[in-house]
Amino acid sequence: MPNCDRLHILQVCKKFPYPLKDGESIAIHNLSRALVQAGAQVSLLAMNTSRHPFRGQSIPQALQHYHQVEMVSVDNRIKPWDALKNLFSDKSYHIERFVSPAFAEKLTQLLEANDFDVVQLETVYLSPYIPVIRKYSSACLSLRTHNVEHEIWERIVRNTRVGPKRWYLDHLTQKLARYEREVVNKYDLVVAISDRDLNTFSQLGFTGTGGVIPIGLDLEDYQTDLPPFPQEDFSMSFIGSLDWMPNLEGLQWFLQEVWPMLNEKWPRLRLHVAGRNTPHWLLENKQPGLVVHGEVPNAVAFIKEHPIMVVPLLSGSGMRAKILEGMALGKVVLTTRLGLEGIAADPNKHVLVANTPEEFMEHLSFLRKHPKKIADIGWESRRLVAEQYDSNRLGKQLLRIYQKVILNAVP
């Protein structure tokens, strides 16, 4: 019988969750640390992928809360020949890229050597390893969903010009959606990141036990003071992984459709852009008022330098950790309706929402005329994060969910 006072959890990830610069790594890190602080013992098994490699020689200090850390090199590059062959297969190419015999072997070794109470898979991309887990462990099998994965791609398809690329993306998306429907009931528990996502899984046919644990932050990591909003020179920031298609798509749209209008009206306005894997076309972009930093050493410090944070997402799913970070730092987050999905923030109180170039212009004009609103919105947004997105409180909630599911499963 499991010891529910000291659960031993194996967290399995499709990428090594470090450095803490993208939403997925932040979400994984904060939740695992909160589970440990709540009394659990957490071990980590992560893929060290070719697309997001970790090249450190030792375990980073930020991950020292883990009882054990293991990683396996996995080549998940998009390969043209494999992508072409997949056209004639009923398997999802999105999923196939994360299938690795070496990873399955390491997972088997860990399961045989440890008596885990919970195996927590981070995202549906790890579902091919369910048979291994069921064979070598009686642990509660939990799917921690960061998004409804196929929904991201459906939205990307809708925003893609009609042609061969759109047809191919739609083909892949349909197979991913079918896979997501097929595996969702193979888990003992699905932990969604928002009520909306859990409802979406129910619409896909999910009938099992579900819970909702949003992304959490520790406000101790986001100390801030709110300087007065400058009347003449002011700046905006954009930060996000620029190899994640929704981020790149939204930024391209903003630079093409919104930024020229804003810069024409306010020539001294500056947009500072930062992110991992910044593409060459962006580094070479010479639009007036645009400052491209590439990858910055400290995301929090970067966000703190600019009073307004813009998140112009047109596709995606789940929650945006960077929006929570901006709110925690007391910044005015200016995002789209889709960008705000999963976050219980009220427009015009905690954040500003704009879906068209004209709406972006309207909000900035308002802030220029009413600079005091910068601090008002900043304090309200930080208060909301403290009340609803505190990682330590959320870790305790998830631990209680695990304890309840495990006890109910004991004959």
Range with the poorest average pLDDT among 2-6, 18-22, 344-348: 2-6
Q: Which fold, 8-216+390-409?
A: Rossmann fold (3.40.50)
pLDDT tens figures, 203-250:
999 999 999 999 999 999 998 876 555 555 679 999 998 988 889 999
pLDDT grade for 27, boundaries at 50, 70 and 90: very high
pLDDT top residue among 78 and 346: 346
Percent of the chain past pLDDT 90, that is, above it, reads 77
CB 237 within 8 A of CB 291: no
In the chain, the largest separation of any two C-alpha atoms, in whole Å, equals: 70
Beta strand segments in 160-313, E: 189-192, 209-212, 235-239, 270-274, 290-294, 308-311
Phi then psi for residue 2, to 5 deg, are -65, 150
Question: Taking the domains of the chain in order of start, what are their residue ranges?
Answer: 8-216+390-409, 220-388
User: CATH topology of 8-216+390-409 equal to that of 220-388?
Assistant: yes
Average pLDDT over residues 109-135: 97
Nearest residue to 357 via CA among 327, 331, 336, 333: 336
pLDDT tens figures, 93-113:
999 999 999 999 999 999 999
| Full-model pTM | 0.90
Range with the poorest average pLDDT among 91-105, 157-171, 352-366: 157-171
The span from the CA of 385 to the CA of 398, in Å, is 18
CA angle 364, 378, 289 (to 5 degrees): 35
Residue 120 has pLDDT above 70, yes or no: yes
Which range has the top average pLDDT, 155-169, 220-234, 315-329, 355-369? 355-369
Could you tell me the two tokens for 362?
Answer: 């309207």
Q: What's the DSSP call for residue 89?
A: S
CATH annotation of 220-388 = 3.40.50.2000
The span from the CA of 222 to the CA of 235, in Å, is 20
Strand partners, 45: 12, 70
pLDDT at residue number 244: 84
Q: Which residues neighbour 171 within 8 Å (Cβ) at sequence distance 6 or greater?
A: 87
pLDDT tens figures, 280-334:
999 999 999 999 999 999 999 999 999 999 999 988 677 899 999 999 999 999 9
Is residue 353 classed as helix, strand or coil in its secondary structure? strand
